[in-house]
Amino acid sequence: MPLYEHVFISRQDLSNAQAEGLIEHFGTVLSDNGGKLVDHEYWGVKTMAYKINKNRKGHYAFLRTDAPSEAVQEMERLMRLHDDVMRILTIKVDAHEEGPSVQMQKRDDRGDRGDRGDRGDRGDRGDRGERRERRN
């Protein structure tokens, strides 16, 4: 069966238990239609880049599934109809990655830029003293 990854955002005024209950609900929808929920992660409440339906924040959830396309279509249909779900994203993947998603890994494990305070020598900057003299 095809493998999918889903991310959905639910309303910010839900409790954590209710948001995690949505994960279980949609997992049940998949299993009823011949698919299975391989793994799921609750990412918590996060601030969004822009408001969606007058909400600045939302509960983010991530699902890894192994299901036929009909089961995924039914789950997406029910997500679109559900009042608490604001946005959904489904991606078909070749294989599921092992371990936690990038969102759940620690910053140190991801190989970020490191300590931003240590920029080293800034040799590309010239002497700025002359500019100040010209302004006066």
Q: pLDDT of 103-127, one tens digit each?
A: 877 755 555 555 555 566 666 766 6
Q: In the chain, what are the domains?
A: 3-96 (3.30.70.60)
Mean pLDDT of 80-90: 93
Residue 129 dihedral angles phi and psi, to the nearest 5°: -65, -35
pTM: 0.74
Alpha-helical segments (H) within the chain: 16-32, 69-81, 107-110, 129-135
pLDDT at 135: 56
